[in-house]
């Protein structure tokens, strides 16, 4: 790398790095079946899950990754794949390693994703015992026919049972994922899903539209979906019902009534996070103040073979000034509150005045508000985020 390139890399002050906190993402890559709409790094589970070998790889990866890290961990998100395929003992072993160094904060939020088709009551009791205090259930719909068309392995009954099991286990922070614009879904069906979920009142809802991601079976063979007008009508009507029920949309696809997801909000505020597991991506500020994004080997076999060595990390990219500014906006504008000036300056190492100049066209068009407090999308700009970010790229 040339000196000129290095000069274009912003530097975050040591004190700001410490104050920003640290989150951790743990990726468990296997599912019972791969959903045709999913473009995540997930793989159909073998007949015998290599739980021991994979946990050993995660522990080696963590020792390699966290060697120089001294910031306490404020949130952990265990995602996949379907993490609920792993035993509570395995999850507990992973959390114990994180707590051993650099350590979990006393109020650390620890989330585990779960599929209603791979859970039972006893499993959530055991997960709570090893430290899981938040569960994110991939409900997607309460319409069994819609779920079948999505390739999900659960139906309405399993979804309701899983929700009851989480609550019975004493885990009081519950998120339910719900999708709209599904094959075979009409306005009435979509709103029935919302009404069912509101009656359950999970406290946090991730509500997002089905999209056809490149490379997925649905992209190659698109299913019949509701037309655009129906999707817009459904979203607007659902938003009204969520608002009326006391849920606040604090992020593009997140609604909270009694809690927000601390881990995801940390992402949107351009916080640092380490990541372990096959294909896991991290963003972290080093002791030298440079902001790096890294990626692990994608395939589980290759990851398990190389975990704990430099060969497990297949990509390291240090953010340039342009990268840091754009990525901070890409994340921060997803929040209703936007990104504060303090977070922007301390987490990018960049000047606020330069950002305001960069945003001048969007400010003049009334799409973005940028003042001494922070930067956020205007009410009109909130619905045009993709267009705003495309112009800023």
Average pLDDT over residues 165-170: 96
Please answer whether residues 347 and 20 qualify as being in contact, where contact means their C-beta atoms are separated by less than 8 angstroms.
Answer: yes
Residue 371, classified by CB atoms within 10 Å of its CB into exposed (0-12), middle (13-18) or buried (19+), is exposed
pLDDT given at position 40: 92
> Is the per-residue pLDDT at 6 higher than 50?
no
Helical residues (DSSP H) of 209-271, grouped into ranges: 217-220, 228-244, 262-268
d(CA 132, CA 72) in angstroms, rounded, equals 17
Work out the percent of the chain whose per-residue pLDDT is above 90. Answer: 93
Average pLDDT over residues 358-369: 96
Average pLDDT over residues 302-319: 98
pLDDT given at position 201: 96
Distances (CA, A) of 133 to 20, 95, 244: 23, 12, 27
Work out the percent of the chain whose per-residue pLDDT is above 70. Answer: 98
Tens digit of each residue's pLDDT (9 = 90 or more) over 248-290: 999 999 999 988 999 999 999 999 999 999 999 999 999 999 9
> Is the per-residue pLDDT at 4 higher than 90?
no
Average per-residue pLDDT in the chain? 95
Give residue 206's region: left, alpha or beta (phi > 0; psi -120 to 50): beta
Structure tokens at 86: 């792993």
Structure tokens at 202: 């999970």
Beta carbons within 8 Å of 274's beta carbon, 6+ residues apart: 22, 23, 24, 25, 65, 66, 69, 282, 284
Structure tokens at 314: 């297949």
Backbone phi, psi, residue 13, to 5° = -65, 150
Please answer whether residues 152 and 182 qualify as being in contact, where contact means their C-beta atoms are separated by less than 8 angstroms.
Answer: no
> Is the per-residue pLDDT at 368 higher than 50?
yes
Tens digit of each residue's pLDDT (9 = 90 or more) over 126-166: 999 999 999 999 999 999 999 999 999 999 999 999 999 99
Going by C-alpha positions, the residue among 73, 13, 72 that lies closest to residue 346 is 13
Helical residues (DSSP H) of 120-227, grouped into ranges: 121-129, 144-150, 156-168, 187-200, 217-220
Average pLDDT over residues 295-301: 98
Average pLDDT over residues 33-48: 93
pLDDT given at position 393: 78
> Is the per-residue pLDDT at 3 higher than 50?
no
> Is the per-residue pLDDT at 1 higher than 60?
no
Q: Characterize the bridge pairing of strands 291-296 and 281-285.
A: antiparallel
> Is the per-residue pLDDT at 97 higher than 50?
yes
Q: What's the CA dihedral at 26, 30, 32, 34 to 10 degrees?
A: 100
Tens digit of each residue's pLDDT (9 = 90 or more) over 223-243: 999 999 999 999 999 999 999
- 165-184: burial string, b at 16+ Cβ within 10 Å, e else: bbeebebebbbbbbbbbbbe
pLDDT-derived band at 7 (thresholds 50, 70, 90) equals low
> Is the per-residue pLDDT at 2 higher than 60?
no
In order of their start, the domains of the chain are 3-266 (3.20.20.70), 325-393 (1.10.10.920)
pLDDT given at position 5: 44
């Amino acid at each position: 790398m040339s000196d000129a390139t290095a000069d274009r890399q912003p530097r975050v002050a040591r004190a700001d790095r410490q104050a920003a906190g640290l989150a951790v993402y743990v990726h468990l890559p296997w599912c019972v079946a791969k959903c045709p709409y999913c473009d995540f790094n997930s793989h159909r589970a073998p007949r015998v899950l290599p739980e021991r070998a994979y946990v050993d790889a995660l522990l080696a990866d963590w020792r390699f990754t966290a060697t120089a890290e001294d910031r306490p961990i404020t949130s952990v998100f265990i995602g996949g794949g379907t993490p609920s395929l792993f035993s509570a003992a395995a999850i507990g072993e992973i959390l114990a390693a994180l707590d051993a160094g650099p350590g979990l904060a006393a109020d650390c939020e620890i989330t585990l994703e779960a599929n209603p088709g791979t859970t039972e009551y006893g499993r959530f009791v055991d997960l709570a015992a090893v430290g899981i205090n938040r569960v994110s259930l991939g409900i997607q719909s309460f319409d069994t026919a819609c779920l079948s068309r999505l390739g999900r392995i659960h139906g309405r009954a399993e979804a309701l049972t899983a929700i009851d099991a989480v609550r019975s286990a004493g885990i009081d922070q519950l998120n339910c994922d719900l999708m709209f614009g599904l094959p075979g879904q009409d306005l009435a069906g979509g709103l029935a899903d919302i009404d069912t979920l509101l009656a359950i009142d999970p406290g946090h809802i991730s509500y997002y539209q089905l999209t056809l991601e490149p490379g997925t079976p649905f992209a190659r063979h698109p299913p019949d979906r509701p037309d655009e007008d129906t999707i817009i009508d459904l979203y607007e009507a659902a938003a009204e019902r969520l608002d009326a029920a006391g849920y606040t949309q604090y992020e593009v696809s997140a609604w909270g009534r009694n809690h927000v997801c601390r881990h995801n909000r940390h992402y949107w505020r351009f916080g640092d996070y380490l990541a372990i597991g096959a294909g896991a991506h991290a963003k972290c500020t080093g002791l030298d103040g440079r902001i790096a994004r890294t990626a692990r080997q994608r395939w589980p076999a290759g990851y398990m073979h190389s975990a704990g060595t430099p060969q497990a990390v297949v990509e390291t990219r240090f953010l340039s000034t342009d990268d840091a500014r754009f990525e901070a906006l890409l994340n921060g504008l997803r929040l209703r509150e936007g990104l504060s000036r303090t977070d922007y300056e301390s987490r990018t190492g960049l000047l606020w005045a330069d950002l305001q100049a960069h945003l001048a066209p969007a400010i003049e068009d009334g799409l973005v508000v940028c003042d001494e407090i922070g930067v956020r999308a205007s009410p009109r700009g909130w619905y045009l985020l993709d267009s705003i970010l495309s112009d800023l790229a």
